[in-house]
Amino acid sequence: MSARILVVDDVEANVRLLEAKLTLEYYDVITCHDGVSGIALAASEQPDLILLDVMMPGVDGFEACRRIKAAADTRHIPVVLVTALDGRHDRIKGLEAGADDFLSKPLDDVILMARVKSLTRLKMVMDELREREESGRRVGVDTGGVARLKGSGGRVLIVDDNTLQADLMAQELSLEHRPMVERSTETGLEAARGAVDLVIVNVTSESFDGLRLIAQLRSKEPTRRLPILALVDTQDRPRLLKALELGAHDILTRPIDPEELGARVRTQVRRKRYGDFLRQKLDHNLEMAVTDPLTGLHNRRYMNGQLDALVARANRGGDPVALLVLDIDHFKSVNDSFGHDAGDEVLREFSVRLATNVRAVDLPCRFGGEEFVVVMPGTTLEDAHRIAERIRRDVGASPFRILGGEPLGITVSVGVAATMGGDDTPASLLKRADEGVYEAKNSGRNRVVARAA
């Protein structure tokens, strides 16, 4: 898996060394030598990862990281701070600035590449979600709210058989989050299926295999997207690398520093909420793409896809499918006499009456204007005719009450068709139902006409 990596360092030798190492692993490398240029390149080039030196003149790495994470178009890019500094204060300062990790020089090449691979893999998942979310933005679907996402108040699951260590982590995290502790793989997996924002796994546990737990969390659908923070001993490189390989999002080394724990947990909780936000927006965008915004019914696009599949199944010997085409009588006169707002209210009320008079398995849709369609799986022509009559009677039985105006008497003309053999198509079914509507209109309106093949 290749990726584009931006290297920012004011020392030319450091830049060339990192560029050589990354290029050898087939990464595409972009370089610059100061924080301002790094911020600009992050926005223009949209790399998959930024390796950012801390000690630079002018805008240092901490400030550059803060600006990158504050900007809407770059906040999703993982940032690894790379520096000769190794103090606790600097490490926590980097994490608080929004960095995804903090690596000290001289770099351990194996750990560096493991972190690069882990973070770029995560970035690519986020990119796919962001691309779909951007599609919704282009068609006018609101996608605001990212800036309000916080890293506090998370539901954090700690899976650790070291009672003292687990309780100390829970106590520390309880100041900002809602931690809970489990002592085994079985209870940990069960708890992770609930409303959890982050799982902390002690991979050095004695009574269970923490690495296997990470693998199980990654392999099961309900927990596959959960962020995982792996707790390892400082010198235990094999477990550290294996945890990253299996899909841990971040590493926390023992002995545990409370401030570092808090900083890493906040980062992961914020990232989880960002991913959830994008997925919710994606679901909303998909729903908007197949829903008529005025009536709340499905739209013509969705109807076409469902009807195609149902007719094809009927032609292969499956259950028949029936179709109702409904056209509100004299709807133009409603708009002309009372205005389009009144017309919209009529359409909304008609949609409610239509939806409440069909079965749960049926698919009522707005076809366009004042025309509606109901797709009825497993329904014969006679049964569809009976349901159409029920809809017609309910629409005309009581007037439509329009806000600020007199009640309006509304009626509907309905055409009915159903598959009758092995050579029907969605187009032919719609045509027969349309012909039924025209006949109903020409016969005085407010009636149902069924058309056999």
Which residues are part of the catalytic machinery? Answer: 370
* Widest Cα–Cα separation across the chain: 88
Strand spans (E) along 54-184: 79-83, 101-104, 155-159, 178-182
Q: Which helix (H) or strand (E) holds 415?
A: strand 412-418
DSSP letter string over 223-254?
Answer: GTT--EEEEEETT-HHHHHHHHHHT-SEEEEE
Contact 4, 45 (CB under 8 A): yes
Contact 401, 370 (CB under 8 A): no
Q: What angle do CA 315, 319, 324 make, to 5 degrees?
A: 90
Q: Which amino acid is at 320?
A: P
Looking at the DSSP bridge assignments, the partners of residue 412 are 328
* Three-state DSSP state, 203: coil
- Give the C-alpha separation, 233 to 162, whole Å: 13
Peptide bond between residue 238 and the one before it cis (omega within 30 degrees of 0): no
- Give the C-alpha separation, 80 to 112, whole Å: 10
